């Protein structure tokens, strides 16, 4: 998804900023501009009490006049904050004609920039904007961030600034410096700052710079489950590691939305792993992880779903262990859990299923024979259970036929879910006799999950997630 606006922080200290309007709305804009040390000129026939006080205190300059386009000459930016739509429109036109950035309160179409909600932990500043679509939502997000980010984060930033040259002199390359700072910001030094022990934090940071050896940095692999697609389903730990990796080795099944949360400047390596389309064979992926880690890099191995459920994560960490490479494993919500939940199909239910079986429906080839699905059919046709089949879309017709052949009734409910948990989710429900035909008509595309069992009947009652497919 493309951004409607590019977030930019503008230095306006001492710059002439013009506000048109003298009421309460103008006051709010003036207050924000004052925080940035702007030279503020308010143009209005009259001022509200709050602005009068600021004018008397010489915090702002008041020009008692109605708006005229010539008043904008030389301005760095302009804010229109009157209750007169015609005046606000005239301000917008005049500012644009003079190539001056302009904000018109409550009129996004007339703006060239918007004033965001701000979390101020100076020098750390976080801006939240909805591009005028939902300012109340932006303020609610700001309120949440206010509670999550201690005020002392600003002091931590100043501490880092004071030691920046020393760290640069100690560590020759960018990667070593980045790792050092990440350890600092997530360790005891940061905690000292948060608890108000600034002097102790400075001493500890100086000691850390002297003690740390840039050549002693070791690589590590983070084996992370990216979940079924919705980025909201990621764990906190997954997000943290995704943000501190140097390189990301990812599969095709990882959603675009999840990939957007990987650190922006991390190297991205696509190893494919779609059906019959592996960019690299599994053995080469295993060795690639070893190679990258031994280069001193923090390697994010990002997989769709859970790494240990049909993700071949076990094979990868075996190779890492054999080569002495340190690693972490972060579980993810597997497709069976996430997709079935978003489809409104509980995998177990005391009236329908007391157990659940996960299997994979890959087509396999035998010499001289057509491709076939080879599964433990008797185990999959036991009563009172739900069967979840990964990667079975291509072999769906065979799967349905074999399940009936081995004992399930042809009327057994079944469903196929396409790209579950995402905006492209699509669910086709039928039974073993007609599911393949229905799926063919619907033209479903991988990745898809097959769910077989009487729990599928509950979807009619429990379906809650119906995304728009526009």
Looking from the CA of 286 toward its CB, the CA atoms found within 13 Å total 17
Sheet order of strands, 426-431 included: 355-360, 385-390, 448-452, 413-418, 426-431
Torsion of CA 309, 310, 316, 321, to 10 degrees: 40
- Phi first, then psi, for residue 285 (nearest 5°) are -65, -45
**One of 29, 230, 246, 273 is an active-site residue; which one?**
273
273 is catalytic: yes
- Give the residue carrying structure tokens 């600021």: 54
Which SS3 state, helix, strand or coil, does residue 211 take? helix
Which SS3 state, helix, strand or coil, does residue 34 take? helix
- Which helix (H) or strand (E) segment is 49 a member of? helix 49-56
Instruction: Give the Cα separation of 66 and 44 in Å (integer).
Output: 6
**One of 29, 230, 246, 251 is an active-site residue; which one?**
251
A 10 A CB-CB count for 396 gives 22
Beta bridge partners of 431: 413
Give burial (CB, 10 Å; 0-12/13-18/19+) of 36. middle
251 is catalytic: yes
Looking from the CA of 18 toward its CB, the CA atoms found within 13 Å total 27
Nearest CA to 17 out of 113, 130, 136, 125 is that of: 113
Render the burial of 201-240: b for 16+ CB within 10 Å, e for the rest. Answer: bbebbeebbeebebeebebbbbbbbbbbbbbebbeeebee
Annotated catalytic residues are 251, 273
């Amino acid at each position: 998804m493309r951004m409607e606006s590019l977030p930019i922080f503008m230095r306006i200290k001492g710059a002439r900023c013009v506000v048109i309007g003298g009421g309460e709305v103008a006051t709010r804009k003036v207050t924000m501009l004052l925080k940035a040390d702007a030279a503020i000129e308010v143009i209005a026939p009259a001022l509200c009490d709050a602005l009068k006080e600021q004018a008397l205190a010489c915090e702002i300059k008041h020009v008692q006049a109605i708006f005229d386009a010539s008043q904008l000459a030389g301005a760095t930016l302009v804010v229109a904050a009157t209750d007169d739509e015609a005046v606000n429109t005239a301000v917008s036109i005049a500012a644009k004609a003079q190539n001056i950035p302009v904000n018109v309160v409550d009129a996004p179409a007339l703006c060239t920039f918007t004033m965001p909600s701000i979390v101020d932990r100076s020098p750390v500043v976080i801006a939240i904007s909805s591009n005028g679509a939902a300012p109340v939502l932006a303020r609610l997000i700001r309120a949440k961030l206010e509670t999550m980010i201690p005020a002392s984060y600003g002091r931590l930033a100043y501490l880092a600034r004071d030691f920046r040259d020393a760290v640069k002199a100690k560590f020759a390359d960018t990667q070593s410096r980045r790792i050092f700072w990440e350890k600092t910001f997530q360790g005891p030094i940061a905690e000292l700052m948060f608890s108000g022990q600034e002097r102790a934090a400075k001493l500890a940071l100086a000691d850390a710079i002297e003690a740390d050896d840039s050549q002693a940095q070791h690589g590590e692999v983070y084996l992370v489950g990216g979940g079924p697609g919705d980025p909201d389903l990621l764990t906190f730990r997954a997000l943290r590691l995704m943000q501190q990796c140097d390189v990301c080795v990812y599969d095709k099944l990882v959603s675009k939305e999840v990939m957007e949360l990987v650190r922006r400047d991390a190297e991205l390596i696509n190893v494919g792993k779609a059906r019959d389309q592996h960019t690299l064979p599994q053995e080469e992926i295993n060795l690639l992880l070893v190679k990258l880690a031994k280069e001193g890099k923090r390697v994010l191995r990002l997989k769709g779903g859970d790494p240990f459920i049909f993700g071949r994560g076990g094979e990868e960490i075996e190779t890492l262990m054999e080569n002495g490479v340190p690693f972490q494993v972060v579980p993810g919500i597997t497709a069976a859990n996430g997709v079935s939940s978003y489809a409104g199909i509980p995998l177990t239910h005391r009236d329908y299923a007391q157990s659940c079986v996960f299997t994979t429906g890959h087509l396999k080839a035998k010499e001289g024979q057509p491709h076939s699905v080879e599964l433990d059919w008797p185990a999959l046709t036991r009563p009172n259970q739900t069967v979840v089949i990964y990667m079975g879309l291509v072999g769906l017709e065979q799967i349905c036929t074999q399940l009936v052949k081995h004992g399930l009734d042809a009327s057994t409910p079944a469903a196929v879910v396409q790209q579950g948990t995402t905006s492209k989710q699509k669910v086709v429900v039928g039974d073993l006799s007609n599911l393949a035909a229905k799926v063919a008509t619907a033209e479903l595309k991988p990745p898809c999950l097959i769910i077989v069992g009487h729990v599928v009947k509950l979807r009619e009652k429990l379906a809650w997630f119906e995304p728009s497919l526009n």
